[in-house]
């Protein structure tokens, strides 16, 4: 190591050069492999069904990926501080149900949305509190998921709940530059998230907490505050995802989010996050969510039964976390 | 003369009944390198942490530049007073870039101002970078070598405008060349006008850089010497106290009873983490204590994790009692009578159970076992067995005491008892006396002697040269993942130190 660095004498004059090139930096990142996987998949699916790659279909895929992508950007924060949020699906379905109920009960749309987003933040703060106290986030957020999923069922009695507002559905369904509202929200949230993580103090603190909590503490980073913050961010984005999903069909389903948490975690890890904390970025999470969506949607093109969906997502998650572990072992 | 940077008056600290620091009185002069030296558990790190604000003293006063403090309530407060501690375990964030680590916690605004950060880094580190090329700011800390991490950690203190640096065993994870770089850097820091408290147990380093040496033993400050009064014999006497005489008693029993080796390792190579093991061959005889001397990080523990099959080897053969054993694994090793005491106590199957369960756990699965009949544990016999072990090994505690509530020395005795009651043929002891008080240390040595006298073989891995010299029959000098020398123990410390510290064509610094 030492000699490789070119150090010949104790004086340590010039010559402490890192022999790590940009190339090794890139090939060391999960996102690099995910991108290759994405391109490879495009080529593969392009042979089977060229129509899959048409701009219209890509826009459709973006729209499909949007709810998971939005959730994943929030999830990322919790993974980056070495926790996880399994309650996102519960928050999403609860929010969808609530917003429709609010609208149907005469509360005006902006207020209904604000209220629900506020509830999302509140649930996130509760999650943050539980985790700060020292309870394992894996269990506690799973419990919150169960509670909220159950409450959604109680509120709807299991039936789809349609909204009697024509404007509500417009939120997700307007089109701009060929993209649906849903996709546009996902892109905007990802970009804002990307800027915050890269350029704001808070992003650095989040990585620091996940990377080495002791180091963060002695560096004046308020670990509790960061924990509350990432969980409330995850909460508000999950709530927003639920609103957007309900608006898309103009109907709130009480089980819409049952399949959110794991794909969101897989998306984050594919995009460079680590279950060991300290890594990841929203743009990667977005790409991960997009990859998962086109792979599962592409199943239709290969004439596989759509029931394979969960099997495929499971394997993608296993693949992603294995990559994470293998990379970690290298150091 | 220089002013006094830090003054301690009657500072004491105890942890759960154990007095870590007792009535420390000390003055540390500005612009000096002040070494705290002592054996493991002497209280030197605790004293450093009291000054850094990591611990709060139970009583006593700390003065910083004449200002009185009753200890700091948190390290942050100490930062503001210009005190920065480089902990033994690096407190950097491995996933962040060097530059982000340097600034972490000192950001001036909500939005990161990278330009300002760069200016700050340049301004604070310029006097440094003239003499020391710093690691690239854009590299993640996880990709740095150990010494680079230490240097980044020190630089972080410079960014925070610290004037007093406390370095806790900074060289423990470094190789020889890396150590030299760090020591050079520490001297440079002093020349730049900083005050450095350097905590170490390595005499060589202390003599090389210290302006003052304070010797600690069992929580007490024994003596402080200025540079012109350094004498290694006196320092050593202060460090080890009354046991000094006994420590040098030569053991001249040539107890290697037959000519055929009991255990042979042939051509062992492999990689554990970052450490490479290269073509290691050695033999172990019946009744022999074979010492593996080496610096921390030489790869001795890694060698045995390859031999025992804990990590995968690239090549290597084992012959035990004239037969080759293919693919040894830890469980098979126990069955064959080869047991291993890991250097880190928690990895020793240190179960958070009672003493009884810890001692009897490995025996439950072995046949025959006195207190297991048809897979049922006979509690009465188990307890009787355990009571006997506790009195035999003079363990302070009862069968029902939780192992974690015992003192370090007693924990070590329990773990040793656990291994010895398995009736092994070979025990491999990896740093068996780390964090152990001196009476227990002596007791462990006597256990080792009697085990060897009764025909058992011991491999002793130790970074404590005195320990190696005291008990070994033969000494293997292990360096950079391979065996450099094998020699009979002639109790000549200088010879061993020369071999250990001599690096190929570089001159040896004799002391």
- pLDDT of B381-408, one tens digit each? 888 888 888 888 888 777 888 877 777 7
Of A211, A216, A220, the CB nearest to B94: A211
Region of B200 on the Ramachandran plot (φ > 0 left; ψ -120 to 50 alpha; else beta): beta
> A-B interface: how many C-beta pairs under 8 angstroms?
102
Nearest CA in chain A to B74: A218
- pLDDT higher than 60, residue B193: yes
User: What pLDDT is attached to residue B508?
Assistant: 38
SS3 of residue B343 by DSSP: coil
B38-55 tens-digit pLDDT? 876 678 888 998 888 888
**pLDDT of B509 above 50:** no
Residue B251 pLDDT > 60: no
Sign of CA dihedral B328, B331, B334, B340: positive
pLDDT above 70: residue B244: no
Cβ separation of B105 and A219 shorter than 8 Å?
yes
Residue B267, phi then psi, degrees to nearest 5: 55, 50
The arithmetic mean of pLDDT across residues B109-124, rounded, is 86
**What pLDDT does B346 receive?**
65
Residues of B in contact with A16 (CB under 8 A): 132-135
Q: What is the rounded CA–CA span in Å between residue B228 and residue B212?
A: 9
Residue B227 has pLDDT above 70, yes or no: yes
Radius of gyration of chain A (CA): 21
pLDDT of residue B511: 33
d(CA A199, CA A192): 10
Confidence of residue A115 (pLDDT cuts 50, 70, 90): very high
- On whether residue A196 sits in a domain, the answer given is yes
pLDDT mean over B116-139: 79
Rounded mean pLDDT, B350-354: 74
pLDDT of residue B480: 82
DSSP string, B90-148: --S-TTSBHHHHHHTT---SSB--HHHHHHHHHHHHHHHHTTSPPPPTTSBGGGS-HHH
For residue A260, the distance in angstroms to the closest alpha carbon of chain B comes to 27
- Number of domains forming the structure of chain A: 1
The pLDDT of residue B355 is above 90: no
Strands of the sheet containing B164-168, edge to edge, are B83-86, B164-168, B195-200, B33-37, B212-217, B220-226
A13–B133: do the CB atoms touch at under 8 Å? yes
Structure tokens, B100? 């982000």
The proportion of chain B whose per-residue pLDDT surpasses 70, expressed as a percent, equals 88
Contact (CB<8Å) A12/B104? no
pLDDT, residue B349, reads 64
Residue B97 predicted with pLDDT over 70? yes
Domain membership flag for residue A8: no
Give yes or no for residue B451 having a pLDDT over 70: yes
Residue A12 covered by a domain: no
- Neighboring chain B residues of A226 at a CB cutoff of 8 Å: none
Q: Crossing angle for the helix pair A223-249 and A88-104, nearest 10 degrees?
A: 50
Angle, vertex CA B99, rays to CA B95 and CA B100, nearest 5:
55
Structure tokens at B240: 């080890």
Q: Which of A284-288, B232-236, B246-250 has the highest mean pLDDT?
A: A284-288
Q: Do A201 and B109 touch (CB under 8 A)?
A: yes
Question: What is the full DSSP assignment across B219-274?
Answer: TEEEEEEEGGG--HHHHHHHHHGGGHHHHT----------SS-SEEEEEEEEEETT
pLDDT > 70? residue B204: yes
- Mutation site, A205, A212, A223, A327, interface B, largest B CB count within 10 A: A212
CATH, residue A65? 1.10.3470
Q: How many CB atoms lie within 10 A of CB B250?
A: 10
Sign of the alpha-carbon dihedral angle for B159, B160, B165, B166 = negative
The pLDDT tens digits of the residues spanning A16-66 come to: 344 445 556 666 677 888 888 888 888 888 888 888 888 888 999 999 999
Instruction: Give the pLDDT of residue A151.
Output: 93
Q: Measured between alpha carbons, how far apart are the two ends of chain B, in Å?
A: 28
CB B29 within 8 A of CB B5: yes
Contact (CB, 8 A) for A106 and A223: no
Chain A residues with CB under 8 Å of B185 CB are 12
Lookup result for tokens 């380093």: B205
Indicate whether A4 belongs to any domain: no
Rounded-to-integer distance, Cα B96 and Cα A3, Å: 25
Min Cα–Cα distance to chain B from A220, Å: 5
- Residue B129 reports pLDDT greater than 80: no
Which is nearest to B182 in space by CA: B147, B131, B208?
Answer: B147
Q: Do A10 and B92 touch (CB under 8 A)?
A: no
| The pLDDT of residue A21 | 54
The mean pLDDT value for B417-438 works out to 85
| Contact residues, chain B to chain A, C-beta under 8 Å | 75-76, 79, 89-96, 100-101, 104-107, 109-112, 131-136, 139, 142-143, 145, 175, 177-178, 180-181, 184-185
| Domain span including residue A244 | 31-330
Cα B302 to Cα A83: distance, rounded to the nearest angstrom? 32
Q: Is the pLDDT of residue B444 over 70?
A: yes
Answer yes or no: is A24 within a domain: no
Element spanning B359, H or E: helix B355-364
Query: In chain B, how long is the greatest CA-to-CA distance?
Result: 78
More confident residue, B409 or A235: A235
Span of A39-53, A186-200, B105-119, B251-265 with lowest mean pLDDT: B251-265
Rounded average pLDDT over B494-510: 56
SS3 call for B59 = strand
pLDDT for the residue numbered B71: 58
b or e along B482-494 (b: 16 or more beta carbons within 10 Å of the residue's beta carbon)? bbeeebebebeee
Q: Going along B260-337, which residue ranges are E strands?
A: 263-272, 275-284, 289-293, 313-320, 323-325
C-alpha span between B299 and B307 (Å, rounded): 12
**Given pLDDT bands bounded at 50, 70 and 90, which one contains residue B257?**
low
Distance from CA of A133 to the nearest CA of B (A): 21
Residue B33 pLDDT greater than 80, yes or no: yes
> B249-257 contacts: CB < 8 A, separation 24 or more?
B249/B470, B250/B491, B251/B449, B251/B470, B251/B471, B251/B473, B251/B489, B253/B453, B254/B473, B255/B287, B255/B288, B255/B452, B255/B453, B255/B473, B256/B285, B256/B286, B256/B287, B256/B288, B256/B473, B257/B285, B257/B286, B257/B287, B257/B455
> Does a structural domain hold residue A17?
no
B47, B41, B54: which is closest to B91 by C-alpha? B54
B249 has pLDDT over 70: no
- A-chain residue closest to B175, CA distance: A2
A205 contact residues in B (CB cutoff 8 A): 104
pTM of this structure: 0.77
Structural domain includes residue A320:
yes
- Is the pLDDT at A305 greater than 90? The verdict is no
Q: Residue B353: pLDDT above 90?
A: no
Taking contacts as CB-CB distances below 8 angstroms, the residues of chain A near B104 are 204-205, 208, 215-216, 219, 221
The alpha carbon of A180 is separated from its chain's Cα centroid by a whole number of angstroms, namely 19
**What is the arithmetic mean of pLDDT over A294-320?**
84
The pLDDT of residue B378: 81
Residue B501 has pLDDT above 80, yes or no: no
Task: Spell out which residues of chain A touch residue B275, defining contact as CB-CB under 8 Å.
Answer: none
**How many CA atoms lie less than 13 Å away from A206 in the CB half-sphere?**
28
Q: Do A16 and B132 touch (CB under 8 A)?
A: yes
Chain centroid, CA B347 distance in Å:
15
Residue B143 with chain A: CB contacts under 8 Å: 18, 20, 331
CA angle (B497 as vertex; B492, B498 as ends), nearest 5? 100
Mean pLDDT, rounded, for A163-173: 85
pLDDT for B115? 87
Separation between Cα atoms, residue B430 and residue B343, nearest integer Å:
5
What is the tens place of the pLDDT at every residue in A135-167?
Answer: 989 999 999 999 999 999 999 888 888 888 888
- Omega cis (within 30) before B368: yes
Q: Which residues in chain B have Cβ-Cβ distances shorter than 8 Å to A212?
A: 91-94
CB atoms within 10 A of CB B51: 28
Across all residues in chain A, what is the average pLDDT?
Answer: 86
Section B136-157 average pLDDT = 86
Q: What are the DSSP E strand ranges found in chain A?
A: 161-162, 175-176, 179-180, 251-252
Query: Taking the alpha carbons of B303, B309, B314, B320 in that order, is the dihedral positive or negative?
Result: positive
Residue B107 above 70 pLDDT? yes
A3 lies in some domain: no
């Amino acid at each position: 190591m030492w000699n490789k660095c070119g150090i010949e004498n104790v004086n340590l004059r010039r010559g402490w050069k890192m022999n790590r090139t940009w190339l090794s930096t890139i090939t060391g990142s999960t996102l690099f492999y995910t991108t290759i996987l994405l391109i490879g998949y495009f080529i593969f699916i392009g042979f089977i069904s060229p129509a899959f790659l048409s701009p219209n279909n890509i826009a459709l895929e973006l729209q499909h990926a949007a709810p998971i992508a939005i959730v994943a950007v929030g999830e990322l924060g919790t993974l980056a501080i070495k926790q996880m949020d399994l309650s996102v699906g519960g928050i999403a379905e609860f929010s969808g149900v609530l917003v429709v109920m609010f609208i149907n009960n005469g509360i005006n749309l902006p207020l209904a949305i604000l209220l629900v987003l506020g509830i999302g933040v509140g649930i996130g703060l509760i999650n943050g509190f539980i985790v700060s106290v020292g309870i394992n986030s894996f269990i506690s957020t799973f419990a919150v998921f169960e509670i909220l999923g159950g409450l959604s069922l109680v509120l709807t009695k299991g039936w789809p709940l349609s909204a009697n507002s024509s404007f509500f559905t417009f939120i997700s369904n307007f089109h701009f530059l060929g993209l649906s509202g849903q996709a546009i929200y996902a892109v905007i949230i990802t970009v804002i998230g990307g800027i915050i993580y890269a350029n704001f103090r808070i992003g650095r603190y989040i990585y620091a907490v996940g990377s080495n909590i002791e180091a963060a503490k002695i560096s004046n980073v308020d670990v509790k505050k960061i924990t509350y913050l990432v969980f409330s961010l995850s909460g508000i984005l999950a709530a927003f995802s639920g609103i957007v999903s309900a608006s898309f069909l103009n109907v709130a389903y009480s089980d819409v989010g049952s399949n959110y948490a794991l794909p969101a975690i897989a998306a984050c890890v594919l995009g460079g996050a680590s279950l060991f904390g300290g890594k990841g970025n929203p743009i990667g999470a977005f790409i991960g969510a997009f990859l998962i969506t086109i792979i599962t949607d592409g199943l239709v093109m290969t004439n596989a039964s759509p029931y394979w969906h969960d099997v495929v997502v499971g394997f993608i998650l296993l693949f992603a976390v294995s990559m994470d572990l293998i990379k970690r072992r290298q150091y | 003369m220089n002013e006094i940077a830090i003054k301690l008056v009657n500072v004491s600290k105890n942890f759960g009944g154990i007095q870590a620091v007792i009535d420390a009185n000390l003055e540390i002069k500005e612009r000096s390198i002040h070494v705290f030296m002592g054996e493991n558990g002497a209280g030197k790190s605790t004293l450093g942490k009291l000054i850094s604000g990591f611990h709060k003293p139970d009583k006593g006063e700390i003065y910083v530049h004449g200002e009185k403090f009753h200890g700091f309530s948190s390290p942050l407060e100490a930062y503001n007073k210009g005190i920065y501690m480089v902990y033994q375990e690096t407190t950097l964030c491995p996933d962040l870039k060097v530059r982000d680590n340097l600034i972490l916690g000192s950001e001036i605004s909500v939005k990161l101002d990278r330009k300002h950060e760069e200016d700050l880094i340049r301004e604070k580190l310029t006097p440094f970078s003239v003499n020391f090329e710093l690691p690239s700011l854009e590299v993640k800390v996880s990709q740095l070598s150990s010494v680079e991490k230490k240097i980044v950690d020190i630089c972080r203190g410079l960014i925070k405008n610290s004037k007093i640096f406390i370095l806790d065993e900074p060289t423990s994870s470094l190789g020889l060349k890396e150590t030299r770089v760090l020591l050079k850097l520490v001297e440079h820091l002093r020349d730049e006008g900083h005050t450095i408290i350097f905590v170490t147990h390595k005499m060589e380093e202390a003599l090389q850089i210290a302006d003052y040496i304070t010797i600690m033993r069992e929580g007490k400050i024994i003596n402080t010497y200025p540079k012109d009064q350094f004498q290694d014999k006196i320092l050593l006497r202060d460090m080890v106290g009354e046991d000094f005489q006994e420590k040098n008693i030569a053991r001249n029993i040539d107890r290697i009873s037959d000519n055929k080796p009991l255990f042979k390792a042939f051509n062992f190579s492999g990689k554990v983490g970052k450490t490479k093991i290269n073509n290691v061959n050695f033999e172990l005889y019946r009744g022999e204590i074979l010492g593996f001397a080496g610096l921390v990080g030489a790869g001795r523990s890694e060698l045995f994790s390859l031999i025992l099959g804990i990590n995968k080897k690239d090549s290597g053969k084992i012959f035990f009692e004239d037969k080759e054993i293919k693919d040894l694994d830890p469980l098979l090793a126990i069955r064959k009578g080869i047991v291993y005491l890991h250097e880190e106590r928690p990895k020793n199957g240190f179960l958070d159970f009672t003493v009884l369960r810890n001692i009897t756990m490995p025996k439950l699965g072995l046949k025959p076992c006195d207190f297991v009949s048809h897979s049922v544990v006979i509690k009465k016999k188990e307890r009787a067995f355990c009571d006997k072990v506790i009195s035999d090994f003079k363990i302070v505690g009862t069968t029902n005491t939780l192992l974690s509530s015992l003192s370090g020395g007693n924990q070590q005795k329990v773990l040793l008892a656990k291994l010895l009651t398995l009736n092994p043929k070979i025990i491999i002891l990896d740093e068996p006396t780390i964090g152990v008080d001196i009476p227990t240390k002596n007791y462990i040595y006597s256990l080792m002697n009697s085990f060897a006298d009764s025909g058992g073989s011991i491999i002793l891995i130790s970074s404590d040269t005195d320990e190696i010299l005291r008990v070994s029959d033969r000494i293997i000098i292990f360096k950079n993942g391979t065996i450099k020398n094998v020699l009979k123990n002639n109790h000549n410390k200088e010879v061993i130190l020369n071999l250990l510290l001599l690096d190929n064509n570089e001159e040896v610094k004799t002391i």
